[in-house]
Amino acid sequence: MGNSRMPRRALLAGLGAALLAPQALLAALLPYRLIPEATDVRFTFLLGGQPQHGRVPVSAARIRIDPQNLARSQADITLDARRARTGLVFATEALKGPGLLDTARFPQIRFRSTRVRLGPDGRLSGGAQITGDLTLRGATRPVTLQAALYRRPGTAPDDLRELDVHLSGQISRAAFGASGYPDLVADRVSLSVRARIRQAG
């Protein structure tokens, strides 16, 4: 009888560990918040064959990072399309009009990460990518961005309180229905995000 109890205890211990494991994994995701004054979301497009630049502000951000397993990190970013700006007044008005962003009907742009692929060195730099669902003009399409995550210069290797994030990539505006002015504006739009995040709490 004494011997029969040992396997049962081992089984109960194993079940307990399995039940607790998901909670332990979830607890490892650390919440971060954006530092607005150090965050810049830019886009570049060709107007009449000439590059033009613009900015769009972030209205909300939910960022979770697992320092022990960076591939589990998550991001959910919302941009305020109504406040998008270019260097040209007429281009800004056209950008927000029905042929492009149509901000009267779709005031927000949202990106939700679905997969993080680390670089060859196992870090979020040097070839790392983040794939997610981009929702623009009510259409949702998968987008993959080049990604890099850095500690602040001069900080200790284990000091992850503040981090710099760099994202870059391209999208087809026609893929989201923003196909206005095809004779003037090229289809490909380049994206560049530089952000600073800080551990919350």
Residues of the chain above pLDDT 70, percent: 87
Rounded Cα–Cα distance for residues 155 and 170 (Å): 32
146 in Cβ contact with 109 (< 8 Å): no
pLDDT tens column, 77-98: 999 999 999 999 999 999 999 9
Q: Which phi-psi region, left, alpha or beta, contains residue 15 (left: φ > 0; alpha: ψ -120 to 50)? A: alpha
> Is the per-residue pLDDT at 10 higher than 60?
no
In the chain, the amino acid numbered 17 is A
pLDDT tens column, 95-150: 999 999 999 999 999 999 999 999 998 888 888 999 999 999 999 999 999 999 99
Higher pLDDT, 36 or 13: 36
Pick from 141, 60, 75: nearest CA to 114: 75
* pLDDT the model gives residue 18: 43
* pLDDT the model gives residue 27: 53
72 in Cβ contact with 26 (< 8 Å): no
> Is the per-residue pLDDT at 74 higher than 80?
yes
The per-residue pLDDT of the chain, averaged, comes to 89
Strand-pair category, 85-86 with 50-55: antiparallel
pLDDT tens column, 154-175: 999 889 999 999 999 999 999 9
